[in-house]
Structure 1
Amino acid sequence: MFRKDETAARPGLTLAAVGVVQFLVSLDLSVVNLGLPEIASGLGFGGVDVTWVIHAYALAFGGLLLLGGKLADRHGRRRVLLGGLGLFALASLLGGFAQEQGQLIAARAAQGIGAAALAPAALAILTVSFPSGRARAQAFGVWSAMNAAGGALGVLVGGVLTEYAGWRWVMWVNVPMAVLAVALAWWGVAADRPVARHARPDVLGAVLGTAGMTALVYGIVGTDQHGWASPVTLGSLVAASVLLVAFVLVQRATTRDAVLPLALFRLRTVSGANAYNLLLGAAMASAFYFMSLYLQDVLGHGPALAGLMFLPFALGVVAGSFLAIRLGSRMPPRSLLIWGGLLTAAGFAWFGRIGADGTFLADVLGPSLVTSIGFGLCLGPVVATATVGVEERHSGVASGVLNTSRQLGASLGLAALGTAAAARAGGSTNGSIDVEALTGGYALGFNLGAVLLGVAVLVAALVLPRPTGRTTSRSTTSRSTTSRKEYHHRDRSNP
């Protein structure tokens, strides 16, 4: 099915390893959510403190993704992938045995550190193992299907495990998957030679970039507790702005091996695809959130049944991903991003018509399928576009940037759209939940998500370069080569 590439000794096993890794990372982003009430009860979390089980992971993951990608370039993608998987498995095992709040939060933070190493390393391995042609489209289609399946099935798995096995299994479920990924990567991914150790490491840039991203994610995810106008939120966002501006200035001036070569963003494929990815992540993260709340708070379903109702969404994303593979030889990625974004926006607009007296079949199933198929059409092409034209020595960094834009988009989307939905819902009436108001808030959130997707479509249409000539793998490779030459010519300050 896939052509053998000189950078991968066993392409089939390489793709399987990367697929399991991406499924694992996506699963862990959502598998814990439905277990939060049980976790709060089991370990004595009070009020909103239990949200730190989510935030600890998000902070470590979002703050360290750029550094994780750079480490993969400097020290070898396979080595960093295996190290990240080992840490992730150990943290999951210890987290399941946690007896105190601090132990679980520390385990979740360690999971985030491991994920920040293995996610960009895995994507970089996929990028260099399948550099062009139909094999590349197929590989990224499989990757996107595993990515989406993990995110959607995480809700189902988390609900079932919480209800029937206990919350500790939402941590332990990661261990066998991580062990499988280690075995596949050990035998299937060829050992690679570090390609970016010719200059001294940019320690100052690493510190500024990590601190800035951590402060930014902290400011955003903390809005559910502090609000956008609180001193904590504003202070975090101001600190993040100062640190990130300093980070950019250091990257422009450094003669060391920069953490983030700014010449990457001169490629329209990289800048456009990451902007698209940020907006897509913002919309889709909020969709999972609002859909989960609507199924439970409005329709009254339990965690396990609500998780089961996400299954059509997961299947739709898988179907859309494989449809993107079939269309990839006939349509350029830019066209798939436009049509996929429009279809996903239509699904969101359909979701925006939910009612307080709705049902799963009438209000959820149809828009779930439309949204998920459109999302599946977008996933593979956006990743393939964001890494096209990037030299192998910066493949880890480019993968880290792409994962960062997705994580930032998800955090921003949940915070901003969640705030708008809560303001529209307006709280409770005489101590009881106003279901009509809740439904109106969720509907507003879905409609705002449709707007974000409309902006993403405009980005794809106006920023991404138009294909020249017929859409074939050869023309795509030619454009990649041209872009890479321009990028290499301009990347003078970071040898």
Structure 2
Amino acid sequence: MNARPLRGSPPAHRTTSDGAIPGCATSSRPTPDSTTLRRGAVLAALAASQFAVMLATSIVNVALPQIRAGVGLSDTGTTWVVNAYGLAFGALLLAGGRAADLFGRRRVLIAGLALFAGASLAAGLAATPGLLIAARAAQGVGAAATAPAALALAMEQFPSGAGRGKALGVWGAVSGAGGAGGVLLGGVLTQAWGWPWIFHTVAFGSALVIAAVATLVPPPDGRRESGRFDLLGTTTVTLALTCLVWALTTARGAGWTDAGVLAAVGAAVALLAAFAAIELRRPHALIPPRLFTTGRVAVGNLLMALLGSVWIALFFFLPLYQQQVLGSGPLATGAGQLPLAAANMLGSTLAPRLSRRFGATASVTGALLTEAAGLLWLSRITADGSYLADILGPSILVGLGLGIAFVQLTALAVEGVPPQDAGLAGGLVNTTRQVGGAIGLAALATLAGSVTTHAALHEPQAEALTAGYRTAFTISAAVLAATALLALLFTRRTGSRTTTDGDARPQD
């Protein structure tokens, strides 16, 4: 017989399976609003890490003449102020991504940021070429640990659904803003306080990011991915990528027939073949085959490499045209990147919405064609042109297309990846973009230089330089048009169409 409560006594409380009283708020369970705010704060801290990495890639470009005079760099040394960072960054991204998976993504992210901040401070204090180049290489090592760990943590916070699309939109916006904003910030700081402040500012900002990550990103739950670090495979592929990136960056000055360049290319090919053989025999491979058995990882990385080959070259040639041909100073050159950065952020924000409406295939193809149209427009620049007539309009088209394409291709490259490989997938997509950028920049710089040298025999210097830049922009537009065709063909052949929101749709 059930006992009945006495009249006037308080009703007995029913509890749910977790011990909570229905209808009563508990402090231990976050409300949807508080969960959204918490995830937003975590994403902001992680995106700031990505912004710092991208900022360091471009912030030195405008200040190179001042850095050269201040430290006493030669022509080759000036080139290596840029190359040392890109070389270490591109060669170690796979190792950084795998280390994040095995040793803890939050731990690796904070360690990478700490190295990045310390190296930035050292670069600003460097008084000799050797110290400056070594500090830039150390920056690249820190960035190689930071970028894949931050992306993996962001994907942990937004594993699927509409939230992932918005997170990737933010990621694309800050990546583009870091690349374009670095040119602006570099010009402002160099003109106002001198070149050391571009590095001091990055160091201070990175310290703030470390504090934000330590405070906002939750510590791991104690679980750690199983497996061992593939030291042999990591060493082999790192050496291969080092040889490849070194050869490509050196070829811009020494030429493709230089003995050292050819030897480095041969070594890279041999080491990559050895890496493939090693990985097929190892139970804990650096790049396990399962990474490519689901989703569209291979397609996303291929297309990202092609996009990167144009992306990095764009931020190399456009400031040069503004400064060497139009005569713009560092501050004006940096300010000229603002419309491109704003369009990039707008495109990144719109990418999830476009993906929902038109699908991944249509949106990424349209984005690549939009960027190609902007670069084709840039190929019409003239030696007596102006910013408003020759740069502003194309920059907006390029920025829109770049923002949408970056978000879509990042989504493809991490789609369906097992959780234990999220850091590696982030490292892989960053590696393909970085190595693709090195290949593209080396090839385009060599081609543009050849055109300029030939044109200088019978034309003024400004005309000759402009001819080289026009050639680089024309070839870049053709590469993106071909990339759009590949995207149309390859992404339609998969079994389902997955948008950046993570929702599978029927096949195109």
> Who is 1:426 aligned against?
453
- In the alignment, the residues of structure 2 paired with residue 193 and residue 250 of structure 1 have an alpha-carbon distance, to the nearest angstrom, of 33
Query: Conserved in 2, the CA contact under 8 Å of 1:153 and 1:311?
Result: yes
Counterparts of residues 189-268 of structure 1 (less than 5 Å): 189-192=217-220, 197-255=225-283, 257-267=284-294
Report the TM-score, using the length of structure 1 for normalisation. Answer: 0.91
1:188 to 1:50, Cα distance in 2 relative to 1, 3 A:
same
Aligned-pair distance for 1:455?
A: 1.7
> Who is 1:59 aligned against?
87
Amino acid at match of 1:162: T
Aligned-pair distance for 1:282?
A: 0.7
Task: Could you tell me which runs of 5 or more consecutive residues in structure 1 were left unpaired when the two chains were aligned.
Answer: 481-495
> Who is 2:12 aligned against?
none
Amino acid at match of 1:373: L
Aligned-pair distance for 1:408?
A: 0.7
Task: Could you tell me which runs of 5 or more consecutive residues in structure 2 were left unpaired when the two chains were aligned.
Answer: 1-30
After superposing the two structures, state which structure 1 stretch, 222-231 or 111-120, moved more: 222-231
Aligned-pair distance for 1:431?
A: 12
> Who is 2:113 aligned against?
85
> Who is 2:345 aligned against?
318
- Structure 1 residue 106 and structure 2 residue 144: aligned? no
- Structure 1 residue 298 and structure 2 residue 332: aligned? no
Match of 1:463 among 490, 494, 497: 490
Counterparts of residues 128-207 of structure 1 (less than 5 Å): 128-192=156-220, 197-207=225-235
- Structure 1 residue 346 and structure 2 residue 382: aligned? no
> Who is 1:34 aligned against?
62
- In the alignment, the residues of structure 2 paired with residue 120 and residue 146 of structure 1 have an alpha-carbon distance, to the nearest angstrom, of 15
Give deviations 1:40-74, integer Å, cap 9, x for gaps.
11111122222111111111111100000000010
1:57 to 1:470, Cα distance in 2 relative to 1, 3 A:
closer
- In the alignment, the residues of structure 2 paired with residue 425 and residue 418 of structure 1 have an alpha-carbon distance, to the nearest angstrom, of 10
Give the match's secondary structure for 2:62. helix
> How many residue pairs align between the two structures?
477
> Who is 2:424 aligned against?
397
- In the alignment, the residues of structure 1 paired with residue 249 and residue 500 of structure 2 have an alpha-carbon distance, to the nearest angstrom, of 41
Aligned-pair distance for 1:334?
A: 2.4
> Who is 2:407 aligned against?
380
Match of 1:441 among 468, 473, 476: 468
- In the alignment, the residues of structure 1 paired with residue 287 and residue 147 of structure 2 have an alpha-carbon distance, to the nearest angstrom, of 17
Cα RMSD (Å): 2.5
Amino acid at match of 2:232: L
Query: Conserved in 1, the CA contact under 8 Å of 2:186 and 2:334?
Result: yes
Query: Conserved in 2, the CA contact under 8 Å of 1:81 and 1:121?
Result: yes
Aligned-pair distance for 1:430?
A: 7.9
Give deviations 1:277-301, integer Å, cap 9, x for gaps.
1111111211122211111111111
- In the alignment, the residues of structure 2 paired with residue 196 and residue 386 of structure 1 have an alpha-carbon distance, to the nearest angstrom, of 23
Query: Conserved in 1, the CA contact under 8 Å of 2:93 and 2:428?
Result: yes
Give the match's secondary structure for 1:426. helix
Report the TM-score, using the length of structure 2 for normalisation. Answer: 0.89
- In the alignment, the residues of structure 1 paired with residue 387 and residue 130 of structure 2 have an alpha-carbon distance, to the nearest angstrom, of 38
- In the alignment, the residues of structure 2 paired with residue 147 and residue 326 of structure 1 have an alpha-carbon distance, to the nearest angstrom, of 19
Amino acid at match of 1:23: F
Counterparts of residues 262-277 of structure 1 (less than 5 Å): 262-267=289-294, 269-277=296-304
Match of 1:12 among 37, 40, 59: 40
Give the match's secondary structure for 1:125. helix
